[in-house]
């Protein structure tokens, strides 16, 4: 992931999430703007890397497993909860790569 992304190319973490295919897409119709599922665009390899690795973390007892459990408690299906964990991890990765500071759990 570090090799395929230059953090300086992205204005913010939302742009990076969009590049990885983890940002929701909006469908406009008149004045209503419902948010629908995640976009099919983006780098599929990065998306798969983040989502599949989040699957392992969802069973752990650390902050990622707890976040996954909170998503499931709110009624979010398994796949969407994994994408939520992946998006949260991507935000942490963006902060680490952008700030050049070590990660502290």
Tens-place pLDDT, residues 17-75: 877 778 776 666 666 555 555 556 667 888 888 888 898 888 888 999 999 999 999 99
Query: Which residues make beta-bridge pairs with 29?
Result: 32
The pLDDT, as a whole number, for residue 72 is: 94
Domain boundaries, the chain: 10-99
Residue whose C-alpha is closest to residue 88's, from 2, 33, 62, 36: 62
> pTM of this prediction?
0.76
Query: What is the average pLDDT across 80-87?
Result: 90
The pLDDT, as a whole number, for residue 30 is: 63
Rounded Cα distance between 90 and 74, Å, is 21
């Amino acid at each position: 992931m570090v090799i395929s992304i230059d953090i300086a190319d992205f204005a913010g973490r939302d742009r990076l999430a969009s590049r990885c295919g983890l940002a929701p897409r909006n469908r406009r119709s008149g004045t209503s703007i419902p948010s629908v599922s995640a976009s099919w665009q983006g780098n599929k390899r990065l998306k798969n890397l983040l989502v599949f690795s989040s699957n392992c973390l969802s069973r752990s007892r650390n902050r990622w497993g707890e976040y996954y459990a909170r998503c499931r408690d709110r009624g979010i299906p398994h796949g969407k909860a994994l994408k939520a964990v992946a998006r949260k991890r991507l935000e942490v990765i963006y902060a680490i790569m952008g700030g050049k500071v070590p990660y502290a759990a």
